[in-house]
Amino acid sequence: MSLSLSQPALLRSQNFINQQWREAGQHRRLPVANPATGGTFAHVPDSDADDASQAVDAAAAAFPAWSRRPARERAQLIKRWHALILANQEDLALIISTEQGKPLKEARGEVLYGASYVEWFAEEATRICGDIVAEAVPGRKLLVLEEPVGVVAAITPWNFPLAMIARKIAPALAAGCTVVAKPAEDTPLTALALVWLAEQAGIPAGVLNIVTASRANTPVVVDAWLADSRVRKITFTGSTPVGKHLARESAATLKKLSLELGGNAPFIVFDDADLDAAVDGLMASKFRNGGQTCVCPNRVYVQDAVHDAFVERLAQRVGALHVGPATEEAAQIGPMINARAVDKIARHVEDAVARGARVVTGGKRLRAEDGPHYYAPTVLVGATPEMELSCEETFGPVAPVFRFHDEQEVIRDANDTPFGLAAYFYSNDVRRIWRVAQALETGMVGINEGAIAAEAAPFGGVKESGYGREGSRHGLDDYMHTKYLCQGQLG
Protein backbone atom coordinates (compact mmCIF):
# COMPACT_ATOMS: atom_id res chain seq x y z
CA MET A 1 0.00 0.00 0.00
CA SER A 2 1.27 3.42 -0.91
CA LEU A 3 -0.02 5.78 1.81
CA SER A 4 2.53 7.56 3.93
CA LEU A 5 1.21 7.56 7.51
CA SER A 6 2.79 8.43 10.87
CA GLN A 7 1.33 5.18 12.20
CA PRO A 8 1.68 2.67 9.32
CA ALA A 9 -0.04 -0.07 11.37
CA LEU A 10 -3.35 1.74 10.78
CA LEU A 11 -3.38 0.39 7.25
CA ARG A 12 -4.92 -3.05 7.68
CA SER A 13 -5.62 -5.45 4.88
CA GLN A 14 -7.31 -8.34 6.71
CA ASN A 15 -10.55 -9.16 8.49
CA PHE A 16 -10.58 -8.93 12.29
CA ILE A 17 -12.35 -11.86 13.94
CA ASN A 18 -11.97 -12.94 17.56
CA GLN A 19 -8.95 -10.66 18.03
CA GLN A 20 -7.10 -12.10 15.02
CA TRP A 21 -6.30 -10.38 11.75
CA ARG A 22 -7.13 -12.98 9.11
CA GLU A 23 -7.55 -13.50 5.40
CA ALA A 24 -10.97 -14.50 4.09
CA GLY A 25 -11.36 -18.29 4.20
CA GLN A 26 -11.19 -18.53 0.41
CA HIS A 27 -8.23 -16.11 0.28
CA ARG A 28 -10.05 -13.93 -2.22
CA ARG A 29 -9.06 -10.22 -2.34
CA LEU A 30 -10.95 -7.07 -3.15
CA PRO A 31 -9.18 -4.08 -4.77
CA VAL A 32 -9.62 -0.63 -3.17
CA ALA A 33 -9.48 2.28 -5.63
CA ASN A 34 -8.59 5.93 -5.20
CA PRO A 35 -11.60 7.75 -6.67
CA ALA A 36 -9.37 10.61 -7.85
CA THR A 37 -7.58 8.36 -10.33
CA GLY A 38 -9.66 5.20 -10.42
CA GLY A 39 -6.38 3.33 -9.67
CA THR A 40 -6.14 0.47 -7.15
CA PHE A 41 -3.97 1.33 -4.12
CA ALA A 42 -4.82 -1.46 -1.66
CA HIS A 43 -6.47 -4.87 -1.30
CA VAL A 44 -8.65 -6.28 1.48
CA PRO A 45 -10.41 -9.64 1.92
CA ASP A 46 -13.42 -10.51 -0.20
CA SER A 47 -15.30 -12.45 2.47
CA ASP A 48 -18.06 -15.01 2.13
CA ALA A 49 -20.75 -16.61 4.29
CA ASP A 50 -18.23 -18.69 6.29
CA ASP A 51 -16.25 -15.61 7.27
CA ALA A 52 -19.49 -13.84 8.21
CA SER A 53 -20.56 -16.77 10.42
CA GLN A 54 -17.17 -16.99 12.11
CA ALA A 55 -17.53 -13.33 13.03
CA VAL A 56 -20.91 -14.10 14.61
CA ASP A 57 -19.42 -17.12 16.47
CA ALA A 58 -16.87 -14.76 18.03
CA ALA A 59 -19.41 -12.03 18.84
CA ALA A 60 -21.88 -14.50 20.34
CA ALA A 61 -19.19 -16.10 22.51
CA ALA A 62 -18.02 -12.69 23.75
CA PHE A 63 -21.50 -11.36 24.52
CA PRO A 64 -22.13 -12.84 28.01
CA ALA A 65 -18.95 -11.44 29.54
CA TRP A 66 -19.10 -8.08 27.76
CA SER A 67 -22.75 -7.47 28.56
CA ARG A 68 -22.17 -8.23 32.24
CA ARG A 69 -19.13 -6.03 32.53
CA PRO A 70 -19.88 -2.94 34.65
CA ALA A 71 -20.97 -0.04 32.49
CA ARG A 72 -18.17 2.13 33.85
CA GLU A 73 -15.56 -0.35 32.64
CA ARG A 74 -17.12 -0.48 29.18
CA ALA A 75 -17.17 3.31 29.19
CA GLN A 76 -13.49 3.52 30.11
CA LEU A 77 -12.50 1.24 27.21
CA ILE A 78 -14.63 3.23 24.78
CA LYS A 79 -13.07 6.46 26.06
CA ARG A 80 -9.62 5.01 25.43
CA TRP A 81 -10.74 4.24 21.89
CA HIS A 82 -11.94 7.84 21.55
CA ALA A 83 -8.56 9.19 22.68
CA LEU A 84 -6.75 6.99 20.15
CA ILE A 85 -9.02 8.16 17.32
CA LEU A 86 -8.19 11.77 18.16
CA ALA A 87 -4.48 11.01 18.48
CA ASN A 88 -4.53 9.55 14.95
CA GLN A 89 -6.71 12.25 13.38
CA GLU A 90 -4.28 13.20 10.63
CA ASP A 91 -3.61 9.63 9.48
CA LEU A 92 -7.29 8.73 9.58
CA ALA A 93 -8.14 11.84 7.56
CA LEU A 94 -5.60 10.86 4.92
CA ILE A 95 -7.07 7.36 4.67
CA ILE A 96 -10.60 8.81 4.35
CA SER A 97 -9.53 11.28 1.66
CA THR A 98 -7.64 8.68 -0.31
CA GLU A 99 -10.31 5.99 -0.39
CA GLN A 100 -13.41 8.20 -0.42
CA GLY A 101 -12.37 11.41 -2.16
CA LYS A 102 -13.42 13.73 0.67
CA PRO A 103 -11.31 16.91 0.80
CA LEU A 104 -8.70 16.69 3.57
CA LYS A 105 -10.18 19.55 5.60
CA GLU A 106 -13.55 17.82 5.65
CA ALA A 107 -11.94 14.45 6.36
CA ARG A 108 -10.27 15.93 9.46
CA GLY A 109 -13.71 17.21 10.44
CA GLU A 110 -15.20 13.77 9.90
CA VAL A 111 -12.68 12.25 12.33
CA LEU A 112 -13.77 14.75 15.01
CA TYR A 113 -17.42 14.25 14.11
CA GLY A 114 -17.18 10.44 14.38
CA ALA A 115 -15.11 10.69 17.57
CA SER A 116 -17.78 12.92 19.15
CA TYR A 117 -20.27 10.02 18.94
CA VAL A 118 -17.74 7.67 20.52
CA GLU A 119 -17.22 10.04 23.44
CA TRP A 120 -20.95 10.70 23.79
CA PHE A 121 -21.83 7.01 23.99
CA ALA A 122 -18.96 6.25 26.38
CA GLU A 123 -20.59 8.78 28.69
CA GLU A 124 -24.12 7.50 28.04
CA ALA A 125 -23.04 3.94 28.97
CA THR A 126 -22.81 5.01 32.59
CA ARG A 127 -26.31 6.52 32.54
CA ILE A 128 -28.23 3.42 31.43
CA CYS A 129 -31.04 2.95 33.90
CA GLY A 130 -34.47 1.37 34.21
CA ASP A 131 -37.51 2.16 36.37
CA ILE A 132 -39.15 1.01 39.53
CA VAL A 133 -42.89 1.34 38.98
CA ALA A 134 -45.45 2.03 41.71
CA GLU A 135 -47.05 -1.33 42.43
CA ALA A 136 -50.70 -1.82 41.49
CA VAL A 137 -51.11 -4.80 43.80
CA PRO A 138 -49.81 -4.86 47.42
CA GLY A 139 -46.84 -7.13 48.02
CA ARG A 140 -45.39 -6.79 44.56
CA LYS A 141 -42.46 -4.88 43.11
CA LEU A 142 -42.43 -3.95 39.42
CA LEU A 143 -39.03 -3.27 37.92
CA VAL A 144 -38.01 -2.35 34.40
CA LEU A 145 -34.49 -3.12 33.18
CA GLU A 146 -32.76 -2.00 29.98
CA GLU A 147 -30.66 -4.84 28.56
CA PRO A 148 -28.37 -5.09 25.52
CA VAL A 149 -30.07 -6.81 22.59
CA GLY A 150 -27.15 -9.17 21.83
CA VAL A 151 -25.04 -9.46 18.68
CA VAL A 152 -25.43 -6.44 16.38
CA ALA A 153 -24.61 -6.45 12.67
CA ALA A 154 -23.52 -3.00 11.46
CA ILE A 155 -23.57 -2.39 7.71
CA THR A 156 -22.17 1.00 6.73
CA PRO A 157 -21.95 3.24 3.66
CA TRP A 158 -18.97 4.77 1.87
CA ASN A 159 -19.83 8.46 2.20
CA PHE A 160 -18.71 8.81 5.84
CA PRO A 161 -16.32 5.88 6.20
CA LEU A 162 -15.47 6.76 9.81
CA ALA A 163 -18.44 8.60 11.28
CA MET A 164 -21.13 6.13 10.20
CA ILE A 165 -19.41 3.06 11.62
CA ALA A 166 -18.33 4.92 14.77
CA ARG A 167 -21.87 6.01 15.54
CA LYS A 168 -23.11 2.44 15.24
CA ILE A 169 -20.30 0.60 17.03
CA ALA A 170 -20.01 3.06 19.94
CA PRO A 171 -23.63 2.82 21.16
CA ALA A 172 -23.64 -0.95 20.61
CA LEU A 173 -20.55 -1.41 22.78
CA ALA A 174 -21.83 1.11 25.32
CA ALA A 175 -25.11 -0.80 25.66
CA GLY A 176 -23.21 -4.07 26.20
CA CYS A 177 -23.78 -5.56 22.74
CA THR A 178 -21.08 -7.23 20.66
CA VAL A 179 -20.63 -6.36 17.00
CA VAL A 180 -20.03 -7.81 13.56
CA ALA A 181 -19.44 -5.07 11.00
CA LYS A 182 -19.17 -4.83 7.25
CA PRO A 183 -18.01 -1.52 5.79
CA ALA A 184 -18.83 -0.40 2.26
CA GLU A 185 -16.80 -2.14 -0.45
CA ASP A 186 -15.50 1.25 -1.72
CA THR A 187 -14.12 2.40 1.67
CA PRO A 188 -13.04 -0.52 3.89
CA LEU A 189 -9.68 0.90 5.03
CA THR A 190 -10.96 3.60 7.40
CA ALA A 191 -13.19 1.06 9.15
CA LEU A 192 -10.33 -1.43 9.50
CA ALA A 193 -8.13 1.33 10.95
CA LEU A 194 -10.84 2.22 13.44
CA VAL A 195 -11.14 -1.41 14.53
CA TRP A 196 -7.37 -1.63 14.93
CA LEU A 197 -7.56 1.38 17.25
CA ALA A 198 -10.32 -0.35 19.23
CA GLU A 199 -8.02 -3.36 19.61
CA GLN A 200 -5.22 -1.06 20.85
CA ALA A 201 -7.71 0.48 23.31
CA GLY A 202 -8.22 -2.95 24.87
CA ILE A 203 -11.69 -3.89 23.61
CA PRO A 204 -11.72 -7.64 24.46
CA ALA A 205 -11.57 -10.55 22.01
CA GLY A 206 -14.73 -11.16 20.02
CA VAL A 207 -16.50 -7.97 21.12
CA LEU A 208 -15.81 -6.18 17.83
CA ASN A 209 -15.37 -8.09 14.56
CA ILE A 210 -15.19 -6.84 11.00
CA VAL A 211 -15.26 -8.48 7.58
CA THR A 212 -14.88 -6.79 4.20
CA ALA A 213 -16.53 -7.93 0.98
CA SER A 214 -16.92 -6.92 -2.66
CA ARG A 215 -20.18 -5.64 -4.13
CA ALA A 216 -20.78 -9.17 -5.48
CA ASN A 217 -20.17 -10.88 -2.13
CA THR A 218 -21.87 -8.33 0.12
CA PRO A 219 -25.29 -10.03 -0.24
CA VAL A 220 -23.69 -13.36 0.71
CA VAL A 221 -22.23 -11.90 3.92
CA VAL A 222 -25.38 -9.97 4.80
CA ASP A 223 -27.68 -12.92 4.03
CA ALA A 224 -25.62 -15.08 6.41
CA TRP A 225 -26.26 -12.52 9.16
CA LEU A 226 -29.93 -12.15 8.24
CA ALA A 227 -30.43 -15.91 8.54
CA ASP A 228 -28.51 -16.24 11.80
CA SER A 229 -30.83 -16.10 14.82
CA ARG A 230 -27.87 -15.13 17.05
CA VAL A 231 -27.78 -11.73 15.32
CA ARG A 232 -30.42 -9.79 17.23
CA LYS A 233 -30.15 -6.43 15.54
CA ILE A 234 -29.14 -4.96 12.21
CA THR A 235 -28.14 -1.34 11.92
CA PHE A 236 -27.81 -0.11 8.35
CA THR A 237 -27.15 3.18 6.59
CA GLY A 238 -27.65 3.12 2.84
CA SER A 239 -30.26 2.96 0.11
CA THR A 240 -33.99 2.51 0.65
CA PRO A 241 -34.23 -0.61 -1.60
CA VAL A 242 -31.52 -2.35 0.47
CA GLY A 243 -33.20 -1.19 3.70
CA LYS A 244 -36.48 -2.74 2.56
CA HIS A 245 -34.68 -5.98 1.69
CA LEU A 246 -33.18 -6.08 5.20
CA ALA A 247 -36.59 -5.43 6.77
CA ARG A 248 -38.20 -8.23 4.72
CA GLU A 249 -35.44 -10.78 5.23
CA SER A 250 -34.93 -10.15 8.92
CA ALA A 251 -38.58 -10.88 9.57
CA ALA A 252 -37.90 -14.64 9.80
CA THR A 253 -35.89 -14.09 12.99
CA LEU A 254 -37.60 -10.82 14.00
CA LYS A 255 -34.44 -8.82 14.47
CA LYS A 256 -34.49 -5.30 15.77
CA LEU A 257 -33.64 -2.85 12.96
CA SER A 258 -32.30 0.67 12.62
CA LEU A 259 -32.47 1.91 9.05
CA GLU A 260 -31.01 5.24 7.98
CA LEU A 261 -32.00 5.32 4.31
CA GLY A 262 -32.22 7.65 1.35
CA GLY A 263 -33.44 11.23 1.50
CA ASN A 264 -34.69 13.89 -0.86
CA ALA A 265 -34.24 16.95 1.33
CA PRO A 266 -36.00 20.20 0.48
CA PHE A 267 -34.23 23.48 1.28
CA ILE A 268 -36.73 26.36 1.36
CA VAL A 269 -35.89 30.06 1.26
CA PHE A 270 -38.84 32.30 2.16
CA ASP A 271 -38.93 35.93 1.12
CA ASP A 272 -38.47 37.06 4.74
CA ALA A 273 -35.20 35.11 5.12
CA ASP A 274 -31.72 36.48 5.66
CA LEU A 275 -30.43 35.68 2.17
CA ASP A 276 -26.74 35.66 3.06
CA ALA A 277 -27.38 33.23 5.90
CA ALA A 278 -29.46 31.07 3.54
CA VAL A 279 -26.66 30.98 0.95
CA ASP A 280 -24.14 30.07 3.68
CA GLY A 281 -26.46 27.33 4.94
CA LEU A 282 -26.97 25.90 1.47
CA MET A 283 -23.25 25.92 0.71
CA ALA A 284 -22.60 24.04 3.96
CA SER A 285 -25.31 21.46 3.58
CA LYS A 286 -25.41 20.96 -0.20
CA PHE A 287 -21.69 20.94 -1.03
CA ARG A 288 -20.40 19.05 2.02
CA ASN A 289 -18.68 15.90 0.76
CA GLY A 290 -19.42 17.01 -2.81
CA GLY A 291 -23.16 16.61 -2.20
CA GLN A 292 -22.72 12.94 -1.33
CA THR A 293 -24.72 12.87 1.89
CA CYS A 294 -28.21 11.55 2.64
CA VAL A 295 -29.18 14.79 4.35
CA CYS A 296 -27.93 17.22 1.75
CA PRO A 297 -30.59 19.34 0.03
CA ASN A 298 -31.76 17.76 -3.19
CA ARG A 299 -34.38 20.40 -4.04
CA VAL A 300 -33.88 24.13 -3.38
CA TYR A 301 -37.16 26.10 -3.27
CA VAL A 302 -36.86 29.90 -3.44
CA GLN A 303 -39.79 32.30 -3.15
CA ASP A 304 -40.51 34.61 -6.11
CA ALA A 305 -39.47 37.92 -4.56
CA VAL A 306 -35.96 36.76 -3.60
CA HIS A 307 -35.39 34.16 -6.33
CA ASP A 308 -33.08 36.12 -8.62
CA ALA A 309 -31.03 37.72 -5.84
CA PHE A 310 -30.58 34.37 -4.13
CA VAL A 311 -29.56 32.57 -7.34
CA GLU A 312 -27.03 35.27 -8.19
CA ARG A 313 -25.33 35.06 -4.77
CA LEU A 314 -25.44 31.26 -4.81
CA ALA A 315 -23.97 30.96 -8.30
CA GLN A 316 -21.07 33.24 -7.37
CA ARG A 317 -20.19 31.06 -4.39
CA VAL A 318 -20.65 27.76 -6.24
CA GLY A 319 -18.64 28.92 -9.26
CA ALA A 320 -15.72 29.79 -6.93
CA LEU A 321 -15.49 26.31 -5.32
CA HIS A 322 -12.09 24.73 -5.86
CA VAL A 323 -12.35 21.27 -7.38
CA GLY A 324 -9.38 18.92 -7.12
CA PRO A 325 -7.90 15.72 -5.71
CA ALA A 326 -9.16 15.34 -2.15
CA THR A 327 -5.66 15.07 -0.70
CA GLU A 328 -4.73 18.56 -2.05
CA GLU A 329 -5.11 21.06 0.84
CA ALA A 330 -6.97 23.56 -1.36
CA ALA A 331 -9.66 21.15 -2.57
CA GLN A 332 -13.25 21.97 -1.58
CA ILE A 333 -14.89 19.46 -3.88
CA GLY A 334 -13.09 16.17 -4.53
CA PRO A 335 -13.84 13.40 -6.99
CA MET A 336 -17.15 11.55 -6.78
CA ILE A 337 -16.87 8.03 -5.39
CA ASN A 338 -16.94 6.15 -8.71
CA ALA A 339 -17.95 6.22 -12.38
CA ARG A 340 -21.56 5.18 -11.63
CA ALA A 341 -21.94 8.20 -9.34
CA VAL A 342 -20.70 10.66 -11.98
CA ASP A 343 -22.88 9.03 -14.63
CA LYS A 344 -25.96 9.51 -12.44
CA ILE A 345 -25.18 13.18 -11.83
CA ALA A 346 -24.65 13.78 -15.55
CA ARG A 347 -27.91 11.94 -16.34
CA HIS A 348 -29.88 14.07 -13.86
CA VAL A 349 -28.49 17.33 -15.24
CA GLU A 350 -29.09 16.26 -18.87
CA ASP A 351 -32.65 15.23 -18.04
CA ALA A 352 -33.31 18.55 -16.25
CA VAL A 353 -31.94 20.60 -19.14
CA ALA A 354 -33.94 18.55 -21.66
CA ARG A 355 -37.08 19.37 -19.61
CA GLY A 356 -36.41 23.10 -19.52
CA ALA A 357 -33.93 23.81 -16.69
CA ARG A 358 -31.10 26.29 -17.32
CA VAL A 359 -27.51 25.83 -16.15
CA VAL A 360 -26.34 28.95 -14.28
CA THR A 361 -22.93 27.53 -13.42
CA GLY A 362 -21.25 24.13 -13.85
CA GLY A 363 -23.30 21.47 -15.59
CA LYS A 364 -20.44 19.37 -16.92
CA ARG A 365 -17.87 16.69 -16.13
CA LEU A 366 -14.45 18.10 -15.22
CA ARG A 367 -10.73 17.45 -15.31
CA ALA A 368 -10.84 14.26 -17.31
CA GLU A 369 -7.04 14.56 -17.59
CA ASP A 370 -6.65 14.05 -13.79
CA GLY A 371 -9.17 11.29 -13.35
CA PRO A 372 -12.57 10.19 -14.49
CA HIS A 373 -14.74 11.10 -11.49
CA TYR A 374 -15.02 14.91 -11.28
CA TYR A 375 -18.21 16.87 -11.81
CA ALA A 376 -18.40 20.68 -11.75
CA PRO A 377 -20.37 22.22 -8.86
CA THR A 378 -23.63 23.20 -10.51
CA VAL A 379 -26.59 25.53 -10.07
CA LEU A 380 -29.70 24.99 -12.20
CA VAL A 381 -32.78 27.20 -12.34
CA GLY A 382 -36.24 26.37 -13.65
CA ALA A 383 -36.35 22.98 -11.91
CA THR A 384 -39.78 21.28 -11.89
CA PRO A 385 -41.29 18.20 -10.20
CA GLU A 386 -41.23 16.14 -13.43
CA MET A 387 -37.42 16.11 -13.51
CA GLU A 388 -35.52 13.03 -12.32
CA LEU A 389 -33.53 15.14 -9.86
CA SER A 390 -36.75 16.11 -8.13
CA CYS A 391 -37.71 12.50 -7.34
CA GLU A 392 -34.34 10.79 -6.82
CA GLU A 393 -31.25 11.72 -4.78
CA THR A 394 -28.62 13.11 -7.14
CA PHE A 395 -25.83 12.54 -4.58
CA GLY A 396 -23.56 15.09 -6.21
CA PRO A 397 -22.70 18.81 -6.26
CA VAL A 398 -25.85 19.95 -8.07
CA ALA A 399 -28.29 22.52 -6.62
CA PRO A 400 -31.52 22.64 -8.65
CA VAL A 401 -33.59 25.73 -7.84
CA PHE A 402 -37.41 25.58 -7.93
CA ARG A 403 -39.31 28.89 -7.86
CA PHE A 404 -42.41 29.03 -5.60
CA HIS A 405 -45.17 31.53 -4.79
CA ASP A 406 -46.62 30.73 -1.37
CA GLU A 407 -46.13 28.74 1.81
CA GLN A 408 -48.87 26.15 1.25
CA GLU A 409 -47.64 25.34 -2.22
CA VAL A 410 -44.04 24.85 -1.10
CA ILE A 411 -45.00 22.65 1.85
CA ARG A 412 -47.11 20.48 -0.45
CA ASP A 413 -44.21 20.15 -2.92
CA ALA A 414 -41.59 19.61 -0.22
CA ASN A 415 -43.62 16.74 1.24
CA ASP A 416 -44.45 15.24 -2.16
CA THR A 417 -41.87 12.47 -1.88
CA PRO A 418 -41.81 9.01 -0.28
CA PHE A 419 -38.70 10.11 1.65
CA GLY A 420 -38.54 11.99 4.94
CA LEU A 421 -35.01 12.32 6.28
CA ALA A 422 -34.09 16.02 6.54
CA ALA A 423 -35.54 19.38 5.52
CA TYR A 424 -34.23 22.93 5.86
CA PHE A 425 -35.86 26.32 5.68
CA TYR A 426 -34.92 29.95 6.15
CA SER A 427 -37.39 32.50 7.48
CA ASN A 428 -37.41 35.28 10.06
CA ASP A 429 -41.13 35.07 10.82
CA VAL A 430 -41.56 33.29 14.15
CA ARG A 431 -45.13 32.13 13.43
CA ARG A 432 -44.16 30.77 10.04
CA ILE A 433 -41.18 28.99 11.61
CA TRP A 434 -43.44 26.94 13.88
CA ARG A 435 -46.04 26.29 11.16
CA VAL A 436 -43.50 25.08 8.62
CA ALA A 437 -41.37 23.07 11.07
CA GLN A 438 -44.49 21.13 12.11
CA ALA A 439 -45.80 20.68 8.57
CA LEU A 440 -42.61 19.19 7.11
CA GLU A 441 -42.75 15.38 7.03
CA THR A 442 -39.15 14.60 7.95
CA GLY A 443 -37.22 13.25 10.92
CA MET A 444 -34.98 16.35 11.10
CA VAL A 445 -35.51 20.02 10.28
CA GLY A 446 -32.86 22.71 10.03
CA ILE A 447 -34.38 26.14 10.80
CA ASN A 448 -32.06 28.90 9.62
CA GLU A 449 -29.30 26.28 9.87
CA GLY A 450 -27.68 24.05 7.25
CA ALA A 451 -25.46 21.87 9.47
CA ILE A 452 -27.77 19.95 11.77
CA ALA A 453 -26.05 16.69 12.71
CA ALA A 454 -24.52 16.39 16.18
CA GLU A 455 -23.76 13.59 18.61
CA ALA A 456 -26.30 14.93 21.12
CA ALA A 457 -29.15 15.02 18.57
CA PRO A 458 -31.32 12.14 17.27
CA PHE A 459 -30.38 11.55 13.62
CA GLY A 460 -32.90 9.62 11.52
CA GLY A 461 -35.88 9.75 9.23
CA VAL A 462 -39.55 8.96 8.74
CA LYS A 463 -41.50 7.51 5.78
CA GLU A 464 -39.21 5.58 3.42
CA SER A 465 -36.11 7.19 4.91
CA GLY A 466 -36.26 4.55 7.64
CA TYR A 467 -36.58 4.30 11.39
CA GLY A 468 -34.39 4.26 14.46
CA ARG A 469 -32.17 7.10 15.64
CA GLU A 470 -28.41 7.59 15.91
CA GLY A 471 -26.86 9.95 18.43
CA SER A 472 -28.51 11.32 21.58
CA ARG A 473 -29.98 9.12 24.32
CA HIS A 474 -32.38 7.67 21.72
CA GLY A 475 -29.35 6.28 19.89
CA LEU A 476 -28.60 4.03 22.85
CA ASP A 477 -32.21 2.84 23.25
CA ASP A 478 -31.98 1.31 19.78
CA TYR A 479 -29.40 -1.21 21.08
CA MET A 480 -31.38 -2.28 24.13
CA HIS A 481 -34.60 -4.02 24.95
CA THR A 482 -36.83 -3.55 27.92
CA LYS A 483 -37.26 -6.33 30.46
CA TYR A 484 -39.97 -6.20 33.08
CA LEU A 485 -39.48 -8.00 36.43
CA CYS A 486 -42.42 -8.62 38.72
CA GLN A 487 -41.48 -9.81 42.20
CA GLY A 488 -44.34 -11.04 44.37
CA GLN A 489 -44.89 -12.42 47.89
CA LEU A 490 -43.41 -9.30 49.46
CA GLY A 491 -46.43 -8.33 51.57
CB of 454 to ligand SIN, least distance (A): 9
In angstroms, give the least distance from the CB of 472 to ligand SIN: 13
Binding mask 279-298 for ligand SIN (x = CB under 6 A): --------------xxx---
| 52 contacts ligand SIN (rule: CB under 6 A) | no
Q: Answer yes or no whether residue 94 interacts with ligand SIN by CB under 6 A.
A: no
159 contributes a contact to ligand SIN by CB under 6 A: yes
**Alpha-carbon distances, residue 264 vs 252, 332, 482 (angstroms):** 31, 23, 34
- Asked whether the beta carbons of 6 and 91 are under 8 A apart, the reply is yes
- We find the least distance from the C-beta atom of residue 219 to ligand SIN, in angstroms, to be 21
Strands 358-361 and 378-381: antiparallel
Active site residue 486: no
Q: Which of residues 129-148 bind ligand SIN (CB under 6 A)?
A: none
- Burial state string for 368-392 with b = 16 or more CB within 10 A and e = fewer than 16: eeebbbbbbbbbbbbbeeebebbeb
Nearer to ligand SIN, 185 or 260 (CB): 260
Contact 138, 197 (CB under 8 A): no
The stretch among 3-11, 84-92, 158-166, 340-348 that binds ligand SIN (CB under 6 A) is 158-166
Q: How far apart are the first and last CA of the chain?
A: 70
Question: Which 163-202 residues touch ligand SIN, going by CB under 6 A?
Answer: 163
The one catalytic residue among 110, 177, 294, 296: 294
CB neighbourhood size of 180 (10 A)? 30
Q: Which is nearer to ligand SIN, 163 or 410 (CB)?
A: 163
Beta strand pairing status for 480-487 and 141-148?
antiparallel
| 391 tagged catalytic | no
Per-residue interface string for the shown chain with ligand SIN, residues 451-480, x marking contact by CB under 6 A: --x---------------------------
Catalytic residue among 199, 260, 393, 455: 260
- Count residues contacting ligand SIN (CB under 6 A)? 9
Q: Residue 178 or residue 258: which is nearer to ligand SIN going by CB?
A: 258
Whichever of 149 and 453 has its CB closer to ligand SIN, that residue is: 453
Q: Which is nearer to ligand SIN, 15 or 159 (CB)?
A: 159
* Smallest distance, ligand SIN to C-beta of residue 26, A: 32
- Work out how close the CB of 338 gets to ligand SIN at its nearest, in angstroms, rounded to a whole number: 17
Identify which of residues 395 and 404 has a Cβ nearer to ligand SIN in the complex: 395
Using the minimum distance from each CB to ligand SIN, give the nearer residue, 114 or 371. 114
All residues at 6 or more sequence positions from 195 whose CB lies less than 8 Å from its CB, including other chains: 12, 16, 181, 208, 210
Give the range of 121-129, 156-164, 343-351, 386-394 binding ligand SIN by CB under 6 A.
156-164
What sign does the CA torsion over 287, 291, 296, 302 have? positive
Minimum distance of ligand SIN from residue 177's CB (angstroms): 21
Q: Which of 160, 374, 395, 404 binds ligand SIN (CB under 6 A)?
A: 160
CB of 142 vs ligand SIN, minimal distance in Å: 39
Q: Which long-range contacts (CB under 8 A, 24 or more apart) does 359-363 make?
A: 360/311, 360/315, 361/315, 361/318, 361/319, 362/318, 362/319, 362/397, 362/398
Out of 237, 303, 417, 472, the residue judged to bind ligand SIN by CB under 6 A: 237
Which sequence positions are flagged as catalytic? Answer: 260, 294
Contact positions vs ligand SIN (CB under 6 A) = 159-160, 163, 237, 260, 293-295, 453
